[in-house]
Chains A and B, each alone.
Chain A
């Protein structure tokens, strides 16, 4: 079967004044249909750039990139994106946010009464799935960060995107809320059959969510290694304490430390405490 997302020789360089940063250097990757793939790596290794390129939000310098068999030439309704924050429409209620895509021509082109009813049913189902039933008419700024991200996910899922792109969507949430969101998004992946590409800097999150983990390294941004996650599809929180999980976590953390170039210089730290002179 053909890959859902096919990336070959992708490169991207950012030029800001005289400095040039190679954010992506020769990325090759196939993501399978209905896969849950996570990108992890040190800050600045190009995770967001790669995700945004798949979403069509970032232009690349060379290489080829296709999603669902079509060349990516810009953003499209088949690839929904969930951002870390500030992406909800604060002037709309939770339900109006979720149903927002129904105002767009692409989703209402040949609409029949049955379509409208199906959409309304889907919006209700998503609202329930995300545990937002009681917040239906609330405005986003009346919700906690975790609830806001649920709305953002429901809104992204509403038009049945084939691919869901998530850029550190739980980065601003506390640890407990994050665990709940992890199980929720795994559940969504199962019922919606969406292909999910998930960017994080949290190794534990990357392992717990992913079927595969793409470890990236910076300067230049590249794929350092791809790991298969040795966990069954049905994830449980206690798996985080399993042997395989911990071993993989340790290995990935060590690799990130190696590539990040941020070594602790104990001599230098020592000097900080020396009296001047």
Chain B
């Protein structure tokens, strides 16, 4: 008996069942880990250069028991969330203005573009000079690193709202304020949330930079300290910890996206 032809596994953009997807994802994650474990088990590399997964796990446990792992995670998360929230709170209304009114765009977008190419990291000495080394300086560096990109991306999100949606509202007698509030903002919301998710990732990058230079607590600081004492396993632990937190936050954003915008997720 012959079967009708089925789509090839490798057909371009062919669908993939959820089971196979997660199976492959697991393979993708496990293979590098296995390679890492293999290299250390066969002692192909010096422990100082590459600790084994077990060493890293032990160090993580040690960090939690004898040092302040929870405190480091908490303070770092606090800094990221604070700097990123500050960015978002200012960026959303500003992006709505830039994306809605050309004069505001002309006034602010080229300027923002200019500033965003300034290396945020190079501002660290300035920030320390201006703000000192308290909490606010770390938050300021994260803010500088994320805010300008965030505004530009969000303004683009607002500009992408189809003109027909705006004009349909205009021909129903909507005022400008009503159009911003009842059309542009709700229409751009899913894209804005995606931008928030992406910039959250960048905020973590700037956190580490800020803590490497100007802190005495947090995950970035712990990594720097570990380097001084040649505790490679702790560096590994810190890096893996940050990426895990990032992954969890990213998934939370995706969950909120699915919950908040059901029409985009085929409910």
Contacts and interface: CB of A to CB of B under 8 A. Distances in A.
Given A87-B164, A91-B263, A106-B174, 18 more contacts: A55-B171, A56-B171, A57-B167, A80-B171, A81-B168, A86-B162, A86-B164, A87-B165, A100-B172, A101-B172, A103-B182, A104-B172, A104-B174, A106-B175, A107-B173, A152-B168, A156-B171, A159-B172
Contacts of B170: 56-57, 74-75
Contacts of A56: 170-171
A191 to B, nearest CB: 20
A101 B168 CA distance: 10
Nearest to B177: A105
Contacts of A103: 178, 182
A101 B189 contact: no
Nearest to A76: B173
B187 A85 contact: no
B261 interface: yes
A85 B262 CA distance: 21
A106 B263 contact: no
Contacts of A84: 164
Interface in B238-267: 261-264
A79 interface: yes
Nearest to B171: A81
Nearest to A164: B171
A59 interface: no
B187 to A, nearest CB: 7
Given A104-B178, A141-B263, A89 B186 contact: yes
A84 to B, nearest CB: 8
A47 interface: no
Interface size class of B (residues with CB under 8 A): 20 to 34
Contacts of A104: 172-175, 178, 182
Contacts of A142: 263
Interface size class of A (residues with CB under 8 A): 35 or more
A231 interface: no
Interface in A80-101: 80-81, 83-91, 100-101
A119 to B, nearest CB: 13
B86 interface: no
Interface in A47-68: 55-57
24 contacts: A55-B171, A56-B171, A57-B167, A75-B170, A75-B171, A76-B173, A80-B172, A83-B164, A83-B168, A85-B164, A86-B165, A87-B165, A88-B168, A89-B186, A89-B187, A103-B178, A104-B173, A104-B182, A105-B178, A140-B263, A141-B263, A152-B168, A155-B172, A161-B171
A140 to B, nearest CB: 8
Contact of B189 (A91, A106, A156): A91
Interface in B161-214: 162, 164-165, 167-168, 170-175, 178, 182-183, 186-187, 189
Nearest to A106: B173
Given A89-B187, A103-B182, A81 B174 contact: no
Nearest to B162: A86
A245 interface: no
B168 A87 contact: yes
Interface string A155-185: 1100101000100000000000000000000
A80 B168 CA distance: 7
Given A87-B165, A91-B187, A139 B172 contact: no
Contacts of B264: 90
A77 interface: yes
Contacts of B189: 91
B172 A91 contact: no
